Structure 1
Amino acid sequence: MKTYPLADGLATSRIGYGCMHLSRAWDASPITADERRNAQRLVETALAHGITLFDHADIYARGKSEQAFGDVLRASPGLRARMVLQSKCGIRFADDPPGTPGRYDFSHDHIVASVDGSLARLGVEYLDVLLLHRPDALVEPEEVARAFDTLHASGKVRHFGVSNHTPSQIELLRRHVRQPLVANQVEISLLHLPLIDEGVVANTTGHAYASAAGTLDYCRLHDVRVQAWSPLASGKLAGTSEFSDPVVRETATLLCQLAEAKAVTPEAIQLAWLLRHPAGIQPIVGTTDAVRLVACAAADEVQLSREEWYALFTAARGGRVP
C-alpha cells in the first residue's frame, strides 16, 4: 500500500485501521476469547495488506480494545516494529470518578495518566502519535504544552495531534505547544460532507457554510494530516439499510455501478473517493470483519476521475454544485 508522511521520519499507510470495536462491551466485563482471536486475525490481515497505522483511544470499550490489541502484541512482540500506534485521550465518562459528569479533560495530569494507562494496556513503551480526542471547553493551552513536554521528554509519545478540532482551536494550541501537531482526525464520508462542502458553497446565499472555517485548507497549509473517522458512514451505504432516503439510495446505486466497473466493492469506492481529495485524507476503517478489511485495502489501487468524484459528491449532497 502507498504511504503518507505523517511526521518527520514517520510514514504510514494511506488507510488506517480503527481499533474501537476490538472489544464490543463498554462495561466491566472481561475480554472474550473470541475477541482476542478476532483481534489477532484483524491485526495480521491489516499488516499483510499494507495497513500500518492502528488508531486507538483510551476510552474505547473502557480500555478493553487497547487491552485486546496489547494481547496480540504480547503474543507476537515482533509486530510492534511493523506498525504505527496512535491513541487518543481527553474524554472522561460520567462515572470517572463516581458522581462526576461526562466531560472533556485536557489537564496535564489527566493527559499524562491517560497515556500511562494506554501504554500499560497496549504493553508498549511508547506511542508514535497521541491525539487530543475532542476539544475541551476549559482547555489551558499552557497546560497541554506542559503535558506534551513531559510525555515527549520521557519518550512515551513521539508525535502529537488533535481530533475534531477547528483551525482556530489548533492555532490556539500551536501558540503554546512546542511539538508540531501532525494530524487532525475528523468525521468525513459521503454521508457527512460539511468539511468538503464548505469549500464549495462558501459565499453562496442560503448555505450554512457560507462563511467557511476552512478546516481542510488549513490542514493542507500547515502540514496537518487529515484523518477521517467513520469514512464508510457506519455502513449506511453498503446495503445494511433499506435506502428509504432517496439521496442515500442514489449514492449507493452509483457506488455499486462504479464498484462493478472497477472490480472492487462499494466500500473501496467510498474510501477511494476520500483518497482522491488533494488534502491527502487518511481514512480510518473500523470493520471487525477481516474479509471486509481486505476489500477496503483495495481502495489504495482505485483511481477515480474528476468526473466520477463529482458524480458521487453531487449524489451524496442531494443536488448539483452551486
Structure 2
Amino acid sequence: MQGETPAPGQSGLPGQSGQELIYGCMGLGGSWSAEPYATAHVEQAAAAIDAALDSGISLFDHADIYRSGKSEAVFGEVLAITPGLRERIRLQTKCGIRLNEQGLETHYDLSRDSILERVNGSLKRLKTDYVDVLLLHRPDPLADPAEVASAVGQLMQEGKVRQVGVSNMSAPQIEMLQDYLETPVVANQLEMSLLKRAWLESTVLVNHAEGLDYSFPHGTVEYCSRQGITLQAYGALARGHYSGAPPESPTPAEAATAALVAGMAKAKGTTREAILLGWLMRHPAGIAPVIGTANPDRIRACAGAARVAAAMTRAEWYRLWVTARGSNIP
C-alpha cells in the first residue's frame, strides 16, 4: 500500500469548483478485439499522457473493458518505463460491465467476486498496486448493495482502492448504495456535453410537455452537488460535432452551433475545445470534463478551458445552449 486512505474531502478529486480536466483513456490500446497491442500503441499512450500532463491534467480515467483491457495494459507499460510517473498522477478505473461472455454481448456484474476479480485484473494491467478511485460502471439490477460494499471495503482495507465512485447512476441509486458503504461516494460519471444535454434540459422542462423527450433522472445533478459528489462528464467534447468532426449531414442547429463555437474561440483567442469544455465548467455544480481524444494536439487544445469558464458571461453560456437546442427555452 502506498500512503494512507485520504479522509473525505481530501481526495484530490475535482471539487465543487470543477476546475479540473480528466483524461479519458478509452482511445488508447488499439482495437477492441482480442488482438494484442503493438509497440506503436504504447508510444501513442505515452504521447497522450505527455500531452495531458503538459495541459495540467493529473487524473486519468480507465475501465477494465476499454479496448478489451488493452487501454489499461498500454498505460501500464508507460508507467513501467517512466520513473516517477505514478507519483505524479491519479488513476481511476471502472468495473461492472462484462462483454462477450457466456453467450451475451453485454451484461452487468457487480457481484462481490466479480468486483474483486476485475479490480485485481486492472491493477495487474496497469502495473500498479492501487487505484485512487474505483467507479462502478453501470447499475446492476442483480447487485446486492451489501455485497458491493463488502467488496469495496475489502479492496480499501487491502490498499488497492482509495476511494469509490459510480458511473451512469441516478440520485436514488447512489443513495441506496451509500446506505451500505462505509466510505463516501466521491464521483458520478455521466454523459454531459453541449450535444448531450438531457442533464440540463431536465432542470428547466419540469411541468413542460417537452420534458417527456428527456429520460435523464431529474434531481441527480442537484443531489450530487449537494452531497459533494463530483460530476465527471464523459463525451464532453460533443464527439467533435462542434470542433472539427461534424456529422456528414449536420442539422441546422449543429451547423449553427459549430459556427458559434468557432466564432467565440476566435474572438477570445482560444480553441473550440476550450469553449466547449468551458461551457460545462461554467455550471455551478462543478463539472469535471473527461477528454477522450488520443490526439496530442487536441488534448493540448483543451488546456484553456478553466480560463474560458471563469470569463464566460451568462449571456454567452445561454447563447451556446439555446443555439445547440435549436429553439428557445420555455
State the TM-score, normalizing by the size of structure 1.
Answer: 0.94
- From 322, 325, 328, the equivalent of 1:317 is 325
Q: 1:156 to 1:169 in 2, by over 3 A?
A: same
> Does the residue aligned with 1:165 lie in a helix, a strand or coil?
coil
CA deviation map 1:206-265 (0-9, x unaligned): 421599621110101111000000111211222322453011011111101110011112
The alpha carbon displacement at 1:32 in A equals: 1.4
Structure 1 residues 52-131: aligned runs within 5 Å: 52-95=58-101, 98-100=102-104, 102-131=106-135
Distance 1:23 1:211 in 2: 31
Q: Is the 8 A contact 1:6 1:225 kept in 2?
A: no
Look up the match of 2:10.
9
The corresponding residue for 2:230 is: 225
- Give the total of aligned pairs: 316
- 1:235-314 aligned at under 5 Å gives the runs 235-241=240-246, 242=248, 244-302=250-308, 303-314=311-322
Once the two structures are overlaid, the 10-residue window that deviates more, 23-32 or 269-278, is: 23-32
- More displaced 10-residue stretch of structure 1: 295-304 or 48-57: 295-304
Stretches of structure 1 that go unaligned for 5 or more consecutive residues are none
Match of 1:164 in 2: 168
The Cα shift of 1:24 comes to 2.5
Aligned position for 1:173: 177
Distance in 2 separating the partners of 1:99 and 1:278: 44
CA–CA distance in 2 between the matches of 1:210 and 1:136?
18
2: CA distance, partners of 1:284 / 1:298? 14
The equivalent position to 2:26 in structure 1, one of 20, 25, 39, is 20
- For residue 116 of structure 2, what is the amino acid of its counterpart? V
Where do 1:21-40 residues align within 5 Å? Answer: 21-40=27-46
Q: 3-state DSSP class of the match of 1:85?
A: strand
Letter of the structure 2 residue corresponding to residue 171 of structure 1: E
In the alignment, the residues of structure 2 paired with residue 210 and residue 112 of structure 1 have an alpha-carbon distance, to the nearest angstrom, of 32
CA deviations 1:143-201 (Å, max 9, x no partner) are 10111111011110000000000011101101111110000000001110011111111
**What's the offset of the Cα at 1:49?**
2.0
The corresponding residue for 1:234 is 239
Counterpart CA distance in 2 for 1:215 and 1:31 is 38
The corresponding residue for 1:216 is: 221
The one-letter amino acid paired with 1:237 is Y
Q: Hey, what's the Cα distance between the residues in 1 that align with 2:240 and 2:35?
A: 27
Stretches of structure 2 that go unaligned for 5 or more consecutive residues are 1-5, 15-19
Assess if the C-alpha contact under 8 Å between 2:239 and 2:245 holds in 1: no
Q: Deviations over 1:80-122 (max 9, x none)?
A: 1111100000000122xx4355200010000011110000000
CA contact (8 A) 2:54 2:300 kept: no
**TM-score normalised over the length of structure 2:** 0.92
Q: What code does the residue aligned with 2:82 have?
A: S
AA partner of residue 240 (structure 2): G
> Cα distance 1:121–1:152, how it changes in 2: closer, same or farther (>3 A)?
same
After superposition, give the CA deviation of every residue in 1:53-91 in whole Å (9 maximum; x if it has no partner): 100000001100000000000001301111110000000
Per-residue CA deviation, residues 107-141 of structure 1 (Å, 9 max, x unaligned), is 00000111100000000010100000011111210
Match for 1:216: what amino acid?
A: V
The 1-side partners of 2:297 and 2:230 are apart by 27
1:45 equivalent to 2:59? Answer: no
The CA deviation at 1:52 is 0.5
Local SS of the residue matching 1:296: coil
Question: In angstroms, what is the RMSD of aligned CA positions?
Answer: 1.8
Given residue 325 of structure 2, which amino acid in structure 1 is its aligned partner?
Answer: R
